[in-house]
Amino acid sequence: MMKKIFSVFFVLVLLFSLLALPVSASETEGDWDFSSEYPTAEPTGVTINVYNWGEYISPGTEGSLDVNAEFTRRTGIEVNYTTFDSNESLYSKLAGGGANYDIIIPSEYMIAKMISEDMLEEIDFSNIPNFKYIDDKFRDPAYDPGCKHSVPYTWGTVGLFYNTEHVKEEVTGWSILWDEQYSGKILMFDNPRDAFAIAQSRLGISYNSTDLNEWNEAAMLLKEQKPIVQAYVMDQIFDKMESGEAWLAPYYSGDAGVLVENNDNVEFIIPEEGTNYFVDAMCIPKGAEHKKEAELYINYMCSPEISGANMDYVGYATPISAAKEYLPEEVVTNPIFYPDEETLARTEAFGMLSPEISTQVDALWAEVKMGGPGDAVVLVAIILFFLAVYVAIIIWKRQKRKREMM
């Protein structure tokens, strides 16, 4: 028996020794070597928890800059980097508690909601001298009056991706997502705000409508669409669009770069009916353990060369004009990434919804995904049915026993 234990530990030792292999530090290749300007700092032993969207930071592969590793190198502060896939799940994780983040990067309407619920720290801007690089138009946003709780990370719009190999017609607007010709090849957002926004654009309703009937109307439209939708996904769209598994999908403009590069047949448009304009900003949640270090991180992210290197990989638009000189010319002048004023006029940002509307939207969204509202009677019937079976079996057994006894 001891031998068994030994072999378990043998495997463990084997695994640990694999871990101990000298992990060759990923060399910063190409243009992104800052070791001469910024010396390497001693480790401080501090680790900050950063919670960001998936595929939303330059990871250091394929010659890009490893943004988090560079931060660690410059400051000696370790980064524990984790990802979420929608504003709502970020909110759940924070509101649920049990997780302690130092930096989060939600979108504007979620920031407004979190400010109203007192979930964000006020940022000490004296620790963020690089805030001076942020463009003026991002400095006093409606979602965070006076810009006390957030520092913009990126901005962009929502658009429509399609595969030209299969979608031959000219794509102009959202209505094609309801075209039965493409049944089973359409992807949709797997979060309520983004999904409803598409239906609302078609109906010409505001994304921030306070009228429940308008939300119901949008939900009707989404239910109508459901039979031809292949799947409700978020970041999986990369995989499914690149492989040609899906042909039509709404997603964020910043990802156009990555997607179009990986599959030549994928095109991107900003629909004529109008679309959502968003800003994602860095915030510090209430009770963050390492607020100072978090501010250092925000400051670091705002330096033009880092924002440039980061956006070069991520593909979203930077709120720092000074960072544009680090980006390729064709990106900065591309209306997909940096839309002109005329396009921006057709966009609308998400605002915070009142609690009543919010719960109703959640219920409507669940209804869309499960195909119609359910009936309490059915549920009660299920439970009663099982109970009846249970009781019937017990009675049957008892009678059988009686018969056997006689």
Partner 1 sequence: MRTKLISAPYTIWMTLFIIVPMGLVAVFAFTDKSGAFTLDNILRVGQYSNVFLRSILLGAVATAISLLLGYPLAYIISKAKASRQSIMVMLVMLPMWMNFLLRTYAWMSLLEDNGLINNLLVAIGLPRVHMINTAGAVVLGMVYNYIPYMILPIYSVLAKIDNSVIEAAQDLGANGVKVFLKVVLPMSMSGVISGVTMVFVPAVSTFIISKMLGGGGNLLIGDLIDMQFLGSAYNPNLGSAISLVLMVIIMICMGIMNQFDDDEENMGGGMLL
Partner 2 sequence: MKLLSKIYTALIFLFLYAPIFVLIVFSFNDTETSSRTVFSGFTLRWYERLFQDRYILEALLNTLIIAVVAALVSTFLGTLAAVGINSMKRLPRKIMMNITNFPMVNPEIVTGVSMMLLFVAATRAMGDRDLGMVSLIIAHVTFCLPYVILSVLPKLRQMNPNLYEAAQDLGCPPIRAFFKVVLPEIMPGIVTGMIMAFTLSIDDFVISYFTSGTTQTLPIYIYSMTRKRISPEINALSTVLFLCILVLLIIINVRQAQDERRQKKAEKERG
Binding site for partner 2 (CB under 8 A): 1, 3-5, 7-8, 10-12, 14-16, 18-19, 21, 23-24, 26, 49, 51, 54-55, 80-83, 85, 96-101, 234-236, 238-239, 242-243, 262-263, 287, 289
Which positions from 193 to 232 touch partner 1 by CB under 8 A, shown as an x/- string? ---------------------------------x--xxxx
**CB of 31 or CB of 85, closer to partner 1:** 85
Closer to partner 2 by Cβ: residue 83 or 358: 83
Q: How far is the CB of 226 from partner 1 (least distance, A)?
A: 6
Partner in contact with 406, chosen from partner 1, partner 2, none, beta carbon below 5 to 8 Å by kind: none
**From partner 2, partner 1, none, interface partner of 91 (C-beta below 5 to 8 A by class):** partner 1
Task: Tell me how far, at minimum, the Cβ of 168 lies from partner 1, in Å.
Answer: 19
Shortest distance, position 356 Cβ to partner 1, whole Å: 13
Q: Which residues pair with 348 in a beta bridge?
A: 276
- Residue in 35, 82, 89, 172 binding partner 1, rule: CB under 8 A: 89
Q: Would you count residue 374 as binding partner 1 (CB under 8 A)?
A: yes
Footprint (CB under 8 A) of partner 1, residues 19-78: none
- The site partner of 328 among partner 2, partner 1, none (C-beta below 5 to 8 Å per kind) is none
Rounded to whole angstroms, the Cα distance separating 189 from 237 reads 9
264 touches partner 1 by CB under 8 A:
no
Complete DSSP assignment for 262-273:
H-TTEEEE--TT
Contact indicator for 144, 115 with CB cutoff of 8 Å? yes
Task: State the nearest-atom distance from the C-beta of 100 to partner 2, in Å.
Answer: 4
From the list 121, 56, 57, the residue with the least C-alpha distance to 87 is 56
Q: How far is the CB of 33 from partner 1 (least distance, A)?
A: 36
- Of residues 275, 251, 255, 253, the one with CA closest to residue 349: 275
Q: What angle do CA 345, 207, 260 make, to 5 degrees?
A: 65
Contact range with partner 1 by CB under 8 A, out of 17-25, 58-66, 84-92, 324-332: 84-92
Is residue 397 a contact residue for partner 1 (CB under 8 A)? Answer: yes
Among residues 258, 267, 268, which one has the least CA distance to residue 57?
Answer: 258
DSSP per-residue codes, 234-294 = STHHHHHHHTTS-SEEEEEGGGHHHHHHH-TTEEEE--TT-EEEEEEEEE-BTT-TTHHHH
Cα distance between residue 44 and residue 46, in whole Å? 5
Beta bridge partners of 225: none
For tokens 């995989």, the residue is 239
Residue entry with tokens 């090849």:
185
Q: Which two tokens stand for residue 209?
A: 């409508």
Q: How many residues bind partner 1 (CB under 8 A)?
A: 48
The span of 86-94, 284-292, 301-309, 320-328 binding partner 1 (CB under 8 A) equals: 86-94
